[in-house]
Amino acid sequence: MGSWNWIPLFWKGDKVSSSGFHSSSTAEEITEGIDASQLTTIVTGATSGIGKETARVLALRGATVVIACRSLEKAESFLEQNADAKIHVMEMDLSSLDSVESFARSFNSSYEQLHILINNAGIMACPFQLSKDGIEMQFATNHLGHFLLTNLLMNKIVTAEETGIQGRIVSVSSLGHSSKFDESWFNLEKINDQSNYGPFAAYSHSKLANIWHANELSRRLQEKGCNITANSLHPGAIHTNLCRYLNISSFILDAIAVATKPFLKSIPQGASTTCYLALHPDMKDVTGKYFGDCNETLPSAVARDKELSIKCWEFSQQLLNNLRGPIDVH
Residues serving a catalytic function are 197
Residue 74 β-bridge partners:
none
| Closest-CA residue to 91 (of 71, 107, 109) | 71
Q: Which residues pair with 87 in a beta bridge?
A: 65
Q: Nearest CA to 149 among 191, 93, 228, 212?
A: 93
User: Of 296, 294, 260, which Cα lies nearest the Cα of 24?
Assistant: 294
For 137, phi then psi, to 5°, come to -60, -40
Contacts with 140 (C-beta within 8 Å, 6 or more apart), sequence order: 94, 95, 130, 131, 133
Q: How many CA atoms lie within 13 A of 101 on its CB side?
A: 8
In eight-state DSSP terms, residue 265 is: B
Note whether 48 and 74 are within 8 A (CB).
Answer: yes
**Beta carbons within 10 angstroms of residue 86's beta carbon:** 16
Alpha helices in the chain (DSSP H): 27-30, 49-60, 72-81, 97-110, 137-138, 145-161, 188-191, 199-223, 250-260, 267-270, 272-279, 306-324
> What gap in Å lies between CA 328 and CA 150, rounded to an integer?
12
> Positive or negative CA dihedral for 286, 292, 298, 299?
negative
In total, the chain counts a number of residues equal to 330
Cβ contacts of residue 148 below 8 Å, gap of 6+?
97, 100, 101, 320, 324, 327
